[in-house]
Structure 1
Amino acid sequence: MEEVLSVHLAVAVALLLLLAAKRTPAVAVPSPQCQRQCGGVDIVFPFGIGDNCSLSAGFNVSCQEVQVQGGVVVYRPFLGNVELLNISLIHGTIRELNHISTYCYDSSSSSMELSTWCFDASETPFRFSDVQNKFTAIGCQTLAYIMDNTDKSYQSGCVSTCQSLSDLADGSCSGIGCCQTDIPKGMGFYNVSFDTGQISPSGLGRCSYAVLMEAAAFSFRTTYIDTTDFNDTSAGQVPVVMDWAIRDGPPSCELAKRNEETGSYAYACLSGNSECVDSPNGPGYLCNCSSGYEGNPYLPHGCHDVDECKNSPCPSGGVCHNTVGGYRCSCRVGRKLNERSNTCDPDTTLITGVTIGFLVLVILSSFGYMILQKTKLNQVKQEHFRQHGGMILFERMRSENGLAFTVFSEAELVKATDNYDKSKIIGKGGHGTVYKGIVKGNVPIAIKRCALVGERQKKEFGQEMLILSQINHKNIVKLEGCCLEVEVPMLVYEFVPNGTLYELIHGKDQASQTPFCTLLRIAHEAAEGLSFLHSYASPPIIHGDVKSANILLDGNYMAKVSDFGASVLAPSDKEQYVTMVQGTCGYLDPEYMQTCQLTEKSDVYSFGVVLLEILTGQEPLKLDGPETQRSLSSKFLSAMKENSLDAILPSHVNGQGSDELIRGLAELAKQCLDMCGSNRPSMKEVADELGRLRKLSLHPWVQIDADMIETQSLLSGTTAASFEIEVGTTELVADYAR
């Protein structure tokens, strides 16, 4: 009995297997030995070379020998008798070479010769792409037709005319010498013909051309009209794009899937991670890998997972985790992923919990909290001071000189400058940007913000803070304080409202309107300030960037020396003088540029150039004009040597100062500009000499009255010499940051 049951069971299983085999036609799977490349073109399934290597006969490719220019034999892929250029699985397209149809005049036979080409792909999986192809005609007096032999009986034409070569333009194909027209969807066959009644030989060209071709591969040239370049260059063939699909079965994905379920059709999308897409051009369907997968959907297991993390799809600060068919992003502790904006936002839940815990800790252990906060504050303080010059520098200022300035908070300076509004900017330079601000009590201040935060800028910040904190002189800009809470260091100065000596000398019409005695007084005051730096500061301070733009003018037009970013403390060891050359062209000491040793006499040389600006009203360096006239110091020294000083002095200087005064000031400038630093006077000697020269400009019995007149002229805007400065309406502000 058991043997009978076993026989019946075996027969039943065999019948089921036979029925399943009949219901599910197998899709051909290529052998691993199939050739997968020809002539540099990848032949991907469903295309194939050789027997049982393609999905169907319509996708069979042959690899043929072709003789190219020079007699060289190469292999190229062909679909039928048409050369194949490439295959795209993703877009469902191929590119092939299509023949050009011609209608040319034969001068030997004095007749027109017609050569047309028809392309028939109607019985294949291919259709001409209506998106990427255009029917193109080239020539003068050319009328070409394109026709389809399908039930739609499509026919269209393209007319190209031209009267002269001057009407033509490269790249233009709008009917003059060249025309293009679209084709409809579903074309698998086309034929070209010419209206011979419209074509006649002319002096503009003997040939007309027509072809269906890839639009992106064509750019019209005017030489195509009067030469045979179009046909010769392309060897009579141009690319055409064909849309392909699985067309030997159901015309849509829905029917293909339904027939597969009934076992009456072999479904081509074999990969488990693939999906069906209806053909956009004609009946049939295509297979694509599902989202998150890539590969060949026509092969079993052909679609494999894409590692999306290689392209960094996660937000900045996030971590990407590749998953099968996709990916997942996560954020570091304290942040969570916002999928809508694809950003790592703060984790408010975690922040709230930490805040509540922190508040409880404060309430329960206030004493411990105060100690902890004090420790943290000291750590932050040490870190910021380390970044901006070092804690050692600050302690040195406190112990040796006393801390005579205010440490401002960032909030105070933000409020004082309206959050660093652009309208508050009063100067920009290589060392930073300067803002005008108003602090408590309506006190104006100037806030210097360093432009960069490198090692050199940190050193300059600490240097300037150290230098200015130990100086208290009426002719040196006063350091009111600093801000150490920010990454970019900031210094706070007294506000000096009336601009710079540079603006007073070189501003519009200023040189001729400013009394010479005023300029002489300002120079004397600046010299007093520099003399204080050299002679009375301990240790002595070398400014390093003396120029008229760094001499500021306060409300009473008193000189204030500023910008100590390039300054150094005079060392006791000569070897310590070696430094990087920095300063302003036109003011630099030639000896300093040669030796890289910055000394007090380097400041004397630069101040000598300032004296020349006062004497001549000219800028220290001009980039135009003859080379001998570009440097003011060189021009001045030549004039002194040739005893022709009057040639470089402006008329208003000769009119306002005595010959003794002018000659004395010129001689002082000459001594300051001596090429040998040891021969130059000290700044104290320069200041004393300027004081003596000022006395020469006035009679002793009218000196006091003259000083009053000068002050009134600067503040009121009028003098007997028509001196005009608009103090009330225009606030000249110093360029602290240079």
Structure 2
Amino acid sequence: MHLPIVLLAVVVVVLFLVPAISSQPPPPPPPPEDCERSCGNVSIPFPFGLTERCSYDSSFLVTCESGGPKIVLFYENIDIVNINTNTSELEAMAIVAYDCSNSSYSATFETNGSFSISKKNRLFAVGCNISGDTDNTSCDSVCNYDSMRNGSCLAGNGCCEAKLPKGITGFFISTYRSVGMDRNELDKNPCSYAFVVEQGKYEFSTTDLLDFQGTKRNYPMTWLLDWAIGNDTCAMVDQESDDFLCKGNSECIQEFVGRGYRCRCKQGYSGNPYLKDNCINIDECKVGTHNCKGECIDAPGNYTCPCPNGKPGEYRKDVNTCSADELPIIQIFVGTLVAGLFLILLFTWIYVGLKRRKSLILREKFFKENGGIMLQQKISRDEGPQIQAKLFTVKELEKATNNYDQSRIIGKGGFGTVFKGYLPGDRIVAIKMSKIVDQTQTQVEQFINEVFILSQINHRNVVKLIGCCLETEVPSLVYEFIPNGTLFDHLHNECKSKAINWDIRLRIATETAGALSHLHSGVSVPIIHRDVKTMNILLDSSYVAKVADFGASRLIPMNQDKLATMVQGTLGYLDPEYFQTGQLTEKSDVYSFGVVLVELLTGKKIVDFNKPENERQITKSFLASLENETLFQVLDEKLQLNEVPDHEIILVSMLAKRCLHLKGNERPTMKEVASELERISAPSVIDKHPSVTSTSKEEETTCLLNGASGDYEDIDGTDTSSLEFHSMKASLPK
């Protein structure tokens, strides 16, 4: 058995977002008539040119060399085969990457702002036991010589084929092979190849495995580049401006959705649509492209086929509308047509009526199944104020989300999917579509619970409920749109985490605590969130915190301080006392908030299964660092501790420790937590704290820490928080 030839063809397709549209200098005047418009046997039409004065701008500049025309696009000189102004496409010779025993070549290609890679292209790789795999493009191929055939690469025998993603502007392609292959296999397949070509421009041959370059030297393997003018689309560009190229009988292609705009000659005209007055009328009668049965008369952009004997109508091969001599035939035709139209209208009216009735019945059914009756009963029992949110119709939400287009998805959670939507007046909202309801009605209760709870909350740090829709199989909630994502994303994204310094983190903690305090003690019936975590804290463009996702929340009657529920929460954030007893209290949110404080301080994920078992939960490591006086070794390195007040770090850390007590009655209330954070974050907090009695900074901070730790028990009459503070101060980096 031969050792397999291991060949890896990798195509890294780099997706570029369309850059922000910026103003650009006006293009040069139309090219002079004396411009050279060919290189060898290749035509070079405007907007391309062999000199800058003959091209639209420098990105369309073509060089004419002995081997033919070329255009320079960043890393590669591209050999041009054809330029088509009707389709705005540039056809170029394919770039081939290869790997042989004594040589290799990797191709990097990137367009400039006027070009993109056509979706008509395909990725091909030629070789044995080939595997190409990226986030966007992959293909696999093996070599079974007994069954190998010439032709398509879709079977993956000897070569493989894959589509390229839409809208890309560059790629990197390379191949490499393993060592230790036997001579027999090397003789059959000495090199591996990878290339991008237009679909249909490459046909596999078994001889390619042995000598690809030799057999394909004269083969027209080409690929396509799309091009457009400027940055503005047809809808954005000033079409009355002198700089706009689609003039005369040329029109702007509205269907083109990429960056810039394209021109084409209007129907019935031909020429270069990018040159003024260059689209000339086609004489269909002369060239023979008409479909007249008799005489043909040319007209601007069209033609006519007059009826014999001067009768009105058109005498065409496909449709003959010439008037007949017999009047009764016309009357019969008109009568039949009128009767047919009447029957069509009648059946249409009946069909629309039945469909509308069926739709109303279905909407009423969904309203009941989605908890509409349950919501009405909650309101009627005076469990809360009248809901002010708007009830949206199905059509309103479909229009807002472009029929729930997948590109509008901005998040997925345990209870549903969140879409970005646009209401009339360009108001941006977040639309949460719940998952399909189960037989036990658990998700119905979660959904109605969230509507009912959010309707009672009016706080700047709680996401605002705008409305809901119960008329579809999957119910939906409509919130205000919070543009900056979740706190979790900002803490654990390498780039975003650098933007949230200590002041921002402290403010986020203070605002979140204030929102939870409002839920616990600022509403008529206390609300326990039950799923406090960084993924449920959203940030607006100014990094203002917004507490979200109340699907698991519960109302606590005024005469109770706890509620027996099925345990629910997120691993790492879940209150251990609630987990063991099933008794939900306000202190359960306090514990979860303490975990959030740890996450803000350390910048690490609360549970990380990639670490050793004793290091998986960061809360344990954090509490251990307080006991071992090594707090500053576990803090987030991106906090730049030399610029952060030491006393604020330690006060927040000790507050987190108080929140993380295993016993709920030993934790502070959210109101106390919010007040403490406000004191910590307030300007000149040292001077304002009532425990300050000394001018020494260390003494002042020690007093602050003593004041913040009043709920802790002393051991042998010693203030443990003070001791910990002095030890941690001594371990600070110099």
The interval holding the TM-score normalised by the smaller chain is: 0.3 to 0.5
Max Rg structure: 1
Q: Report the TM-score, using the length of structure 2 for normalisation.
A: 0.44
